[in-house]
Structure 1
Amino acid sequence: MAPFSCAAFGEESKIADDTVLLTGVSGFIAKHVALRLLDRGYRVRGSVRSAGKGAEVRATLARHGAAVERLDLVEADLLAEAGWADAAAGCRFLIHTASPFPMAQPRDRFALVPAAREGTLRVIAAARKAGVERMVMTSSIVAVYQGHEDRTDVRYGEADWSNVDSPSVGAYAVSKTEAERAAWEASRDAGLELSVINPAFVLGPLLDADAGTSAMVIAMMMRGRTPVVPDVSFGIVDVRDVADAHVAAMEVPSAAGHRFILSAGTRSLMEIGRHLASAEPTLRRRVPRFVLPDYVVRTAALVSRQARLLLPELGRPKDLDTDLARTTLDIVFRSPEEAIAATATSLRNYGVVR
């Protein structure tokens, strides 16, 4: 992507004097964002839930050449008020990545909403009090296209929202949708500029052995845990492009007030497996080899909540409108295959998969 102007917010702007509050800095996306920010000369104040987690993040970023002397770590939890006012004090920008992303979906579709929505509102309240100028929020593509089973138009863009009233929408998608809607309303009330990043399935290189939920899908394939997969497809985006988009959305004046969908292209679970086997032939007997017939998934859905969540996705690839990210944020996406290969390589390098 093209380099940003240091004076994106005016000639008097000086990156070296700007502090960015980065919530959930220990997350997969957030660590990459922290690397970009530190490399560009910002001071970063990262929130963590424990001092031990903060020490791990600092060590990880240092190993990757980050100027960690410009990194401060603060303890704050999305479910509690304590710590957020101090975390936001003196910050010009806020990048809010913290949100629950469990491997297994809770039975209660609204179980994740308190941490996601109420935590977002706490962060915005602290930002308002501190005089933060702009917030960039990490949402998800699942806040855009889910719950529209009868829709015939497969193209989804900035104006589209998931329908959380649909029983087909899982807890994670409900939490991301509710949290993002709350952020738009609260930011307008607070006079806070907001840009939102809606990435598809995020893959790409890990920075340490702390593999997140997305990478573990690839890990399960590499371990031979998914010999058969349903006929589902989804957009894929490289975490490095996601990090670049966050920084651009923070710096580019015209990014305010927009949602940015990030996807380099759609791939099925079988296609992901085939590419893993192509990149690493030793995986040929481990990656998925068969596609489950739709009727099998539909039958399983009668008794399985997890299978039921797959029903709206069966054989229904989405056309995701990424034009705004390409034009406004100047993102040139890495291919899905590059993101898949980078994930697999780092899972090996960090010993997550042997």
Structure 2
Amino acid sequence: MSNSIENTKGVVLVTDNGFKVVTTARSDEKGRRTVESATPAQRSNLSYVAVGDIAKENAFDSAFTKGTIFDYVVHTASPYHLNVQDPVKDFLDPAIKGTTGILKSVVAHAPTVKRVVITSSSAAMINPLNHAKVYDETCWAPWTLEDVKDPQKAYITLSEKAAWAFMEKEKPNFDLVVINCTYTFGPVQRNLPSLEVMNASNHRIRDMLQGKMKEELPSTAPVFTFVDVRDVARAHLKAITVPEAGGNRFYIVGGHFSNKRIVDSIRKSYPKFGERLPPEDAPDDFPADVYGFNNGKSVKTLGLDYNSLEESVKDTVQSILDLRLDF
């Protein structure tokens, strides 16, 4: 299993379901932090391997050459952050080379692997230039290598396409499942050292709690769909354990949202933050003609039952409060 799903919920859930997990990290510090985020009982089934730069050739080989026999591999390690210096180095190389690299390492060193699960994104589906009326697993974003200067466009689409192309060309002994999740809210990791390093999707909830949006709500666009991180984690677990999932991509989306709807949920569950929030009559920019989504495949095949926005926001706020970090 590769880097933890958003905030280690995936690693913890898999260990809870009886699997022994070897997670990878780019440093010993990050690896120890992932293991320490688990309970003492979970740690007995959890270890890590430091792999460094995942864009380098054979970066993942060390994870498969230490004697452990693997049945499944879950690769979630495509980066996303807002401090972009070099789109190719920061996004494209780790995404494409990291994805194809782990597939090559499995072929070369892990003949017992039955299935590889890769975390992609709705960004590999959504076409903001010409929105579909309803998005599902048949949809692909239109981006090509020429769009790489805009990292939010190209890197996820190209890395997922590279994975499917690898499967078509190499025809390995394992099958592939791809999880396409959207903006991901939900409880943050238990050992988060500061509010600055939480997953990017939850930044907006953090900023609301800190009063940074009190004067004016920013635009919600371009994404109006969300999913709870616990549903993302369950999707990855089901992708491992459900035989019929093999060879499929799954659109993992719980519903629609807007910044105003998040604010309203915070105000309802935590009225003490009212003075830090925009006024109740702040406008909602949720579009009447917003694109739809069809998550029926994930419900039918993976058996998902999605958390609501209100549940997700409430639990996200509580998890931040539980950290007892200064606002």
Q: TM-score range by the shorter chain?
A: 0.7 to 0.9
Instruction: Determine if the alignment matches structure 1 residue 187 to structure 2 residue 176.
Output: no
What secondary structure is seen at the aligned counterpart in 2 of 1:61?
coil
Q: Following the alignment from structure 2 to structure 1, what is the Cα–Cα distance between the partners of residues 325 and 78?
A: 23
The answer as to whether partners of 1:109 and 1:170 remain within 8 angstroms in 2 is no
Cα distance change on mapping 1:266 and 1:169 into 2, 3 Å: farther
Alignment-derived partner of residue 200 in structure 1:
182
1:164 Cα deviation from its structure 2 partner: 1.2
Q: Following the alignment from structure 2 to structure 1, what is the Cα–Cα distance between the partners of residues 85 and 287?
A: 21
TM-score normalised by structure 2 residue count: 0.86
Instruction: Determine if the alignment matches structure 1 residue 136 to structure 2 residue 125.
Output: no
What secondary structure is seen at the aligned counterpart in 2 of 1:33?
helix
Instruction: Determine if the alignment matches structure 1 residue 37 to structure 2 residue 10.
Output: no
Alignment-derived partner of residue 325 in structure 1:
298
Q: Following the alignment from structure 1 to structure 2, what is the Cα–Cα distance between the partners of residues 286 and 172?
A: 30
**Number of residue pairs matched?**
308
Question: Which residues in structure 2 correspond to 1:1-354 (within 5 Å)?
Answer: 22-25=1-4, 28-29=6-7, 31-62=8-39, 66-76=41-51, 77-81=53-57, 83-89=59-65, 90-104=69-83, 108=87, 112-129=91-108, 130-131=110-111, 132-147=113-128, 149-151=129-131, 153-165=132-144, 170-188=150-168, 189-191=170-172, 192-208=174-190, 209=192, 211-226=198-213, 227-230=216-219, 232=221, 234-289=224-279, 290-291=282-283, 317-352=290-325, 354=327
Cα distance change on mapping 1:36 and 1:125 into 2, 3 Å: same
Cα distance change on mapping 1:167 and 1:97 into 2, 3 Å: closer
Instruction: Using the TM superposition, name which of 226-235 and 330-339 deviates more.
Output: 226-235
The answer as to whether partners of 1:121 and 1:182 remain within 8 angstroms in 2 is yes
1:237 Cα deviation from its structure 2 partner: 1.1
Q: Following the alignment from structure 2 to structure 1, what is the Cα–Cα distance between the partners of residues 230 and 171?
A: 31
Cα distance change on mapping 1:257 and 1:82 into 2, 3 Å: closer
Q: Structure 2: any 5+ residue segments left out of the alignment?
A: none
- The C-alpha deviation readout for 1:122-172, integer Å capped at 9, x for no partner, is 11101112122211111111111134x234x42011010111159699413
Q: Structure 1: any 5+ residue segments left out of the alignment?
A: 1-21, 294-312
Q: Following the alignment from structure 2 to structure 1, what is the Cα–Cα distance between the partners of residues 122 and 29?
A: 31
The answer as to whether partners of 1:231 and 1:315 remain within 8 angstroms in 2 is no
TM-score normalised by structure 1 residue count: 0.80
- Percent of aligned pairs with the same amino acid: 25
1:314 Cα deviation from its structure 2 partner: 7.1
The answer as to whether partners of 1:36 and 1:247 remain within 8 angstroms in 2 is yes
Cα distance change on mapping 1:164 and 1:109 into 2, 3 Å: farther
Q: Following the alignment from structure 2 to structure 1, what is the Cα–Cα distance between the partners of residues 85 and 140?
A: 22
The answer as to whether partners of 1:121 and 1:186 remain within 8 angstroms in 2 is yes
1:287 Cα deviation from its structure 2 partner: 2.8
The answer as to whether partners of 2:180 and 2:249 remain within 8 angstroms in 1 is yes
The answer as to whether partners of 2:84 and 2:90 remain within 8 angstroms in 1 is no
